[in-house]
Amino acid sequence: MKMIRRSLIVGAVGIGLLTSGLAQAQDIKPRLIRFGYGLNEQSNQGRAAKVLADEVEKLSGGKMKLRTVGAAALGSDVQMQQALIGGAQEMMVGSTATLVGITKEMALWDTPFLFNNTQEADAILDGPIGDKVRAKLEEKGLVGLVYWENGFRNLTNSKKTVAKLEDLNGIKLRVMQNPVFLDTFKSLGANAVPLPFSELFSALETRAVDGQENPFNTILSSRFYETQKYLTVSNHVYSPWIVLVSKKFWDGLSKDEKDVLIKAGKTSRDFERKDTRAEAAKALEDLKSKGMEVTVLRATEAGRMREKLTTINAAIAVNVGMDLWSETQAELARMRK
């Protein structure tokens, strides 16, 4: 009898040690966060994703770990947004333009020629107006952490030089899956075709579309120059990216964990903008050296485009809300004095 009792005690102690050991092992197991993005690892988006991951690991002392997955391997922007809302994925970065179906106020950032420079973009995006638009995401199951920079968008195509408005006639132009971009380029005379970014390279390669519009960095890192002979420097709109967190995931985090993501987000934002601007400054020369024929849109032609797009701006104002629109225009006017 004594032997049985002793073996039972030894067994119980052993299980205790094992579970406490597992418990300790469990304690140090990092919280894994899947972070998806659409461009490739060598892009400005990929480099900033790595900075974010390193910062989260450092600030959390290894307790939180981002697994960054690029090249839309976790899905397109729209698919990842839905995965975050459903709680199937924790984080992503993508275009604000693809969010307008979820939060209409994001269309503010699609306004053609809204910002004249990156100083204006940073001031509005990181100020009360940008905060207000980000906050609208929460009721839809998303938390907008910070804005990164995609950049000023420029036109490329495989058919002809585009130096004036009329040159866009007959160009099959891929646009982001966003009604403002669709209406903008239809108004300018192009045959606008909405496609996810992940399908863009093959659509250009097979000539399913003639052209597209993206910042220099993306044209370079996604090798669009391989299929696009003509580049028009139009700077027709400034595109932000936004780092998103699933609200279902966010609500389960401790205050300390939330602080880690907020701080790391800001560090990644500052790095990303600096890195993107440094690369953009030399990307144009790189694209010329890759054989692209570069045309800088004359100010008079940009003025004609703005004129043509006044109805688009009026529709955006109604869509995002006149208060938000007027506040933005007033703040920009104040900055430009």
Could you tell me which residues come within 8 angstroms of residue 108 by beta carbon, excluding any fewer than 6 positions away? 114, 129, 133, 316, 320, 324, 325, 328
**Minimum distance of ligand KDG from residue 197's CB (angstroms):** 3
Yes or no: say if 270 and 248 are a contact pair by the CB < 8 Å rule: no
Identity of the residue, 201 or 262, whose beta carbon is nearer to ligand KDG in the bound complex: 201
**Mode of pairing for the β-strands spanning 64-69 and 31-36:** parallel
Residue 169 pairs in a beta bridge with none
Identity of the residue, 29 or 67, whose beta carbon is nearer to ligand KDG in the bound complex: 67
**Minimum distance of ligand KDG from residue 150's CB (angstroms):** 5
**Minimum distance of ligand KDG from residue 77's CB (angstroms):** 5
Identity of the residue, 60 or 268, whose beta carbon is nearer to ligand KDG in the bound complex: 268
Which segments of 153-297 are extended strands (E)? 154-157, 172-175, 191-194, 211-214, 230-233, 238-246, 293-296
Identity of the residue, 38 or 144, whose beta carbon is nearer to ligand KDG in the bound complex: 38
**Minimum distance of ligand KDG from residue 177's CB (angstroms):** 8
Q: Which two tokens stand for residue 163?
A: 């130096």
Report the b/e string of 147-169 with b at 16+ CB within 10 A: bbbbbbbbbbbbeeebeebebbe
Identity of the residue, 98 or 295, whose beta carbon is nearer to ligand KDG in the bound complex: 98
Residue 224: phi, psi to the nearest 5?
-65, -25
Identity of the residue, 56 or 243, whose beta carbon is nearer to ligand KDG in the bound complex: 243
Yes or no: say if 248 and 87 are a contact pair by the CB < 8 Å rule: yes
**Minimum distance of ligand KDG from residue 330's CB (angstroms):** 28
**Minimum distance of ligand KDG from residue 24's CB (angstroms):** 40
Residue nearest to ligand KDG (CB): 38
**Minimum distance of ligand KDG from residue 46's CB (angstroms):** 11
Identity of the residue, 48 or 143, whose beta carbon is nearer to ligand KDG in the bound complex: 48
- 262-37-223-288 Cα dihedral, nearest 10 degrees: -20
Q: Contact residues for ligand KDG (CB under 6 A)?
A: 37-39, 77, 94-95, 98, 150, 176, 197, 214, 239, 241
Identity of the residue, 107 or 260, whose beta carbon is nearer to ligand KDG in the bound complex: 107
**N- to C-terminal Cα separation, the chain:** 94
Q: Which two tokens stand for residue 246?
A: 């699933």
**Minimum distance of ligand KDG from residue 218's CB (angstroms):** 6
The sign of the CA dihedral 90, 95, 96, 101 is negative
